[in-house]
A and B are shown apart, each in its own frame.
Chain A
């Protein structure tokens, strides 16, 4: 089987007192970085905001342009952090469940499934409420996740990284063709969809965040609960079962959580790729592959990464913007390539 994580789970083998403090330091560092990025994300943009204006605006004032800018950027920053956190978490969980270092909601076609479902909902069911979007997107994410996993795991060797990635790429291609076919005759839908299709957090509002929040919370909870189970799964199904882990249940709970997160995140921000791929790999360097540490850290780093990507996208093309989905693809694809290069030939 493809036990491709760089090192075996260390948490079980070593006494915790030795490893906990560097891990804690890593987590603290990530939280601090996220804090700095959040402040920068609110202050920098087409118009930079001074510290006084920032504090005044946070205090509820809305008197000049700078303070108005803060009010506009706050929900956006919040959304970037939320979406980044859940995508990082979903990626880490998917990599754990499939024991596949290339697992990512975008690469495995899960976000494409969510997008297709939303388009079908808008075009044929007259869907317009944000809550409806979310349910439909989650359903689409679930269907495509199952489809890709079944196609990718048929035959010898089970779900190898290559087979899963190819099944995901094929499914994504099929879904994006279907999306084009549905959208083409409907120019009006297409125009509103064309920005959403790339993935961005520009249109954030507190109302939209509120709608999607319950889904994100449930998904996050499900994922965090199974962290210990994912550690056992990393040892292989047989060994995990021998250790008393209910393999099927753990896997089902983790997959449900990840699908909930991907579907809801796609519904609110569009398909954003590679965050779920990059973040867990970076986090494993910091805290090893113990999921009890990896999952929370992936959330923090994911939030920081997406906030940074959004910030970069806003700054490089002033006064225009580069959508966050494009920034993450440009940053994430090279990481994907590095991971592929590091894998041994037979584990592919």
Chain B
């Protein structure tokens, strides 16, 4: 490295280093929240006991409470948060619009409506439910895209059409829930607001697997997607396979949203908020995918802890993210409006 470049590159390196540091801190927060969720509950178990349970040893008492109850629940919160955060920021990056997250434009509603019909009406087994949810979410995404298409897709039109579609699909969910033969509050809340209550490995496992497979796929698209923010032509000139990148990103992101929704319901605002919060934490510049996924996990894990222990009652995670997230959404709208942004 020549001396003339040192001052420039050191500034850049400094920023990259601080971004790495901040991302590391986020990851540490996620680990801390996971540990807390595993330790805290009706009975407190120390880190040693929890670690032994996780490693597969038998600990009297803790094996059931931690291994059978808290571990699936915490895993679900963790992977659902990661999946929603990652998918949300992918959509926001791809459509150049902070409002274009899958929960705002109706893709989560599609997965949710399909899952609730599959479970409550058709009584399909869990494995099929995930597939149905993915299919419905892809179909919803396609329908919204086609409806928004008129001499190209304008972001604002896409968002408004998404709002209309999700209103329709949400009314399907309400109908199925209210008319369900067996009115079960737990199930109802899961599909109306999102909840990690009653998590079992049979629903958690497919989602975990999907995150392990799809997250690397999406992360591999981070660089091309970032180049595509300068326009398709510029990206193509730099050697980015534009169409292929877009199709892969959409398929992977929709798959993540659909599986997370099939397992935990439409957890309010996580996909929408993870990206903007991550941007404020690590600053603008390189891809937000990793920080946004971590923020998503922090949101779901944190909201579940708050819902379980902070209030007198046990609230499902979606109620907490809804109550906390909506004012932030309004704040975000006000800020974008003030700044004179396009939305």
A residues with a Cβ closer than 8 A to B are: 102, 106-107, 151-152, 154-156, 161-163, 165-167, 169-171, 173-178, 180-181, 184-185, 187, 190, 194-195, 197-198, 273-274, 320, 322-323, 325-326, 329-330, 332-334, 336-337, 340-341, 343, 345, 348
Question: Is B161 in contact with A155, judged by CB distance below 8 angstroms?
Answer: no
Known: A166-B159, A184-B316, A320-B179. 20 other contacts (CB 8 A): A154-B334, A155-B340, A163-B337, A166-B333, A169-B104, A169-B163, A170-B326, A170-B329, A173-B329, A177-B193, A177-B322, A181-B319, A190-B185, A330-B168, A333-B164, A333-B165, A336-B160, A341-B161, A343-B157, A348-B157
B156 at the interface (CB under 8 A from A): yes
Question: Is B154 in contact with A155, judged by CB distance below 8 angstroms?
Answer: no
Shortest beta-carbon distance from B324 to chain A in Å: 9
> In whole angstroms, how far apart are the Cα atoms of A41 and B292 in the complex?
53
Question: Is A348 in contact with B154, judged by CB distance below 8 angstroms?
Answer: yes
Question: Is B322 in contact with A180, judged by CB distance below 8 angstroms?
Answer: yes
> In whole angstroms, how far apart are the Cα atoms of A102 and B165 in the complex?
14
Question: Is B175 in contact with A162, judged by CB distance below 8 angstroms?
Answer: no
B287 at the interface (CB under 8 A from A): no
29 contacts between A and B (CB under 8 A): A151-B330, A154-B338, A155-B338, A163-B333, A169-B104, A169-B163, A170-B326, A174-B323, A174-B330, A177-B323, A178-B323, A180-B189, A180-B319, A181-B315, A187-B185, A190-B185, A197-B174, A198-B174, A198-B175, A322-B175, A323-B178, A326-B171, A329-B167, A333-B165, A333-B167, A334-B168, A337-B147, A341-B147, A345-B157
Question: Is B163 in contact with A165, judged by CB distance below 8 angstroms?
Answer: yes
* B96-154 interface (Cβ within 8 A of A): 99, 104, 147-148, 150, 154
Question: Is A173 in contact with B178, judged by CB distance below 8 angstroms?
Answer: no
Question: Is B99 in contact with A176, judged by CB distance below 8 angstroms?
Answer: no
- Chain B residues lying within 8 Å of A169, measured Cβ to Cβ, are 104, 163
B222 at the interface (CB under 8 A from A): no
Name the residue among A106, A184, A195 with the largest chain B CB count within 10 angstroms.
A184
Asked, given contacts A163-B343, A348-B154, A348-B160, whether A181 binds B167 with beta carbons under 8 Å apart, the answer is: no
> In whole angstroms, how far apart are the Cα atoms of A332 and B171 in the complex?
11
Shortest beta-carbon distance from B338 to chain A in Å: 5
* B298-317 interface (Cβ within 8 A of A): 312-313, 315-316
Prevailing SS type, chain B contact patch? helix
CB closest chain-A residue, reference B152: A345
- Chain B residues lying within 8 Å of A197, measured Cβ to Cβ, are 174
Shortest beta-carbon distance from B177 to chain A in Å: 8
- Chain B residues lying within 8 Å of A177, measured Cβ to Cβ, are 193, 268, 318-319, 321-323, 325-326
Asked, given contacts A155-B337, A174-B330, whether A341 binds B322 with beta carbons under 8 Å apart, the answer is: no
CB closest chain-B residue, reference A170: B329
CB closest chain-B residue, reference A274: B167
Name the residue among A198, A273, A333, A341 with the largest chain B CB count within 10 angstroms.
A333
Asked, given contacts A180-B192, A184-B319, whether A326 binds B330 with beta carbons under 8 Å apart, the answer is: no
- Chain A residues lying within 8 Å of B164, measured Cβ to Cβ, are 333-334, 336-337, 340
Q: Which 8 A-B pairs have the closest CB atoms?
A: A177-B322, A174-B326, A155-B337, A329-B171, A333-B168, A348-B156, A156-B340, A336-B164
B327 at the interface (CB under 8 A from A): yes
B339 at the interface (CB under 8 A from A): yes
> In whole angstroms, how far apart are the Cα atoms of A139 and B244 in the complex?
53
Shortest beta-carbon distance from A74 to chain B in Å: 25
- Chain B residues lying within 8 Å of A274, measured Cβ to Cβ, are 167
- Chain A residues lying within 8 Å of B330, measured Cβ to Cβ, are 151, 167, 170-171, 174
- Chain B residues lying within 8 Å of A185, measured Cβ to Cβ, are 312-313
Shortest beta-carbon distance from A162 to chain B in Å: 5
B269 at the interface (CB under 8 A from A): yes
* B184-237 interface (Cβ within 8 A of A): 185, 189, 192-193
> In whole angstroms, how far apart are the Cα atoms of A177 and B322 in the complex?
5
Asked, given contacts A155-B340, A165-B160, whether A184 binds B189 with beta carbons under 8 Å apart, the answer is: yes
